[in-house]
């Protein structure tokens, strides 16, 4: 389960300075031009290649790595809004330009967050994994981007210069260079991009869970899994709590027989592969000398006994569990302390806590993520933004393609 077999073949990084605010209209005004230009460039280079271009999108949020932003639960509400904004914008841009996402001749876009060195200097050690990293960790990682883009405005140039000061000393001889994006707008960023929502839990979480089918992996899945990784406390040196666990419940095939176009469902292993590859892409920013993750496959009797353990690094493990009911490992693993849900599955979080209460277990903190709105985007050649974030529509298209052959 390699994190990025294609990374280096056709891969780009888009460095973005801080957004003007969390409001989507302002967020879109600031970033749409840069994102559209990069999407068009990658789509043009893909023409006839029959491959997928990888695009890492790094959004700068000052203060992410300061002590005032601890624990992660404190900043989760703010970050999930920015995360949903960017994936919404990715969907809009791809639909408007008729560019595929996560499919041959398309773009695999992933969103992470970065803090600048000055903000992270308060800490003795920056977090050792994403999706929140400092600029130095990103620049010194083992990733080989063909192109590194940034907005050609004052904030973008300053961010690019800081990045290149690290990158130019550590990059591989085959690594790409930095490219400004002309015509980028100029905006002022709010001093208070991180805010605390009322009634937000402030407990650090060391074992976080999420569940889903994860069929034909798309940006809705990316939003959900990135949010789950954001809710997990980062691994740090000399940490008294040595292990972090991110559990992903992946629906077993027995529960999917009545799904529409079930014959085009991916296997459980394929769906796990999609989830793991993505999580590695947003969490593993190791330097070039880091060894490959250790994988263990387990099959035991009883519920949730079939799972895959993936040791990303010391102190951080991914667990992919085959689930056969709506609750998954949340009612068989007492150590799980938080659950991430979408607005559509809000009731599932309450049901999980009801079941845990029956066992006398502590309730989970439940984190809800925004919905990806798509109504404002017109269809393009019969395909809309909504169809790009629906596994059912993706399977339908696969069926239609098979029938046409």
pLDDT in tens, 243-254: 899 999 999 988
> What integer pLDDT is reported at residue 233 of this predicted model?
93
Q: Which of 66-75, 118-127, 207-216 has the lowest mean pLDDT?
A: 118-127
- The pLDDT confidence band at residue 120, using thresholds 50, 70 and 90, is very low
Cis? peptide before 101, omega within 30° of 0? no
Q: Domain boundaries in the chain?
A: 9-198, 203-404
Please work out, in degrees rounded to the nearest 5, the angle formed at the alpha carbon of residue 116 by the alpha carbons of 114 and 121.
120
The CATH number of 203-404 is: 3.40.50.620
Return the minimum-mean-pLDDT range out of 57-61, 189-193, 240-244: 240-244
HEC string of 216-265 equals CCCHHHHHHHHHHHHHCCCCCCCCCCCCEEEEEEEECHHHHCCCCCHHHC
Q: What is the structure's pLDDT at 172?
A: 75
Give per-residue pLDDT as tens, 320-355: 999 999 899 999 999 999 999 987 778 889 999 999
Q: Please report the pLDDT score of residue 404 as a whole number.
A: 61
Torsion of CA 39, 41, 44, 46, to 10 degrees: -70
Its pTM stands at 0.91
Give the C-alpha separation, 395 to 391, whole Å. 6
């Amino acid at each position: 389960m390699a994190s990025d077999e294609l990374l280096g073949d056709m891969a780009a990084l888009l460095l973005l300075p801080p957004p003007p605010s969390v409001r989507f209209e302002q967020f879109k005004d600031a970033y749409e031009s840069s994102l559209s230009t990069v999407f068009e460039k990658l789509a043009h280079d893909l023409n006839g290649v029959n491959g997928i271009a990888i695009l890492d999108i790094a959004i700068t949020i000052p203060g992410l790595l300061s002590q005032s932003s601890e624990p992660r639960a404190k900043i989760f509400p703010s970050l999930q809004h920015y995360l949903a904004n960017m994936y919404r914008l990715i969907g809009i841009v791809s639909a408007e330009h008729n560019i595929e996402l996560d499919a041959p001749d398309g773009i695999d876009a992933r969103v992470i967050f970065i803090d600048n060195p000055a903000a992270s200097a308060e800490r003795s050690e920056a977090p050792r994994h994403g999706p929140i990293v400092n600029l130095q960790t990103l620049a010194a990682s083992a990733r080989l981007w063909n192109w590194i883009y940034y907005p050609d405005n004052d904030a973008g140039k300053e961010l690019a210069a800081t990045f290149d000061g690290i990158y130019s000393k550590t990059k591989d001889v085959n690594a790409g260079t930095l490219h400004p994006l002309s015509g980028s707008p100029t905006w002022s960023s709010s001093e208070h991009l991180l805010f605390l929502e009322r009634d937000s839990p402030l407990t650090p979480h060391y074992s976080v869970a999420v569940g889903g089918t994860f069929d034909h992996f798309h940006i809705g899945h990316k939003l959900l899994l990135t949010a789950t990784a954001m809710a997990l406390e980062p691994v740090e040196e000399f940490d008294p709590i040595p292990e972090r666990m991110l559990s992903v419940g992946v629906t077993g095939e027995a529960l999917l027989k009545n799904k529409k176009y079930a014959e085009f469902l991916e296997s459980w292993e394929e769906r796990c592969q999609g989830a793991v590859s993505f999580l590695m892409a947003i969490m593993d920013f190791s330097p070039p000398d880091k060894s490959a993750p250790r994988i263990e496959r387990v099959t035991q009797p009883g519920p949730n006994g079939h799972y895959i353990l993936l040791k990303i690094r010391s102190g951080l493990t991914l667990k992919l569990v085959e689930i056969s009911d709506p609750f998954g490992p949340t009612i068989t693993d007492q150590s799980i302390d938080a659950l991430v849900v979408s607005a559509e599955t809000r009731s599932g979080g309450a049901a999980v806590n009801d079941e845990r209460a029956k066992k006398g277990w502590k309730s989970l903190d439940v984190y809800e993520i925004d919905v990806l709105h798509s109504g404002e985007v017109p269809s393009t050649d019969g395909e809309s933004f909504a169809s790009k974030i629906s596994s059912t529509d993706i399977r339908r298209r696969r069926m239609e393609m098979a029938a046409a052959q």
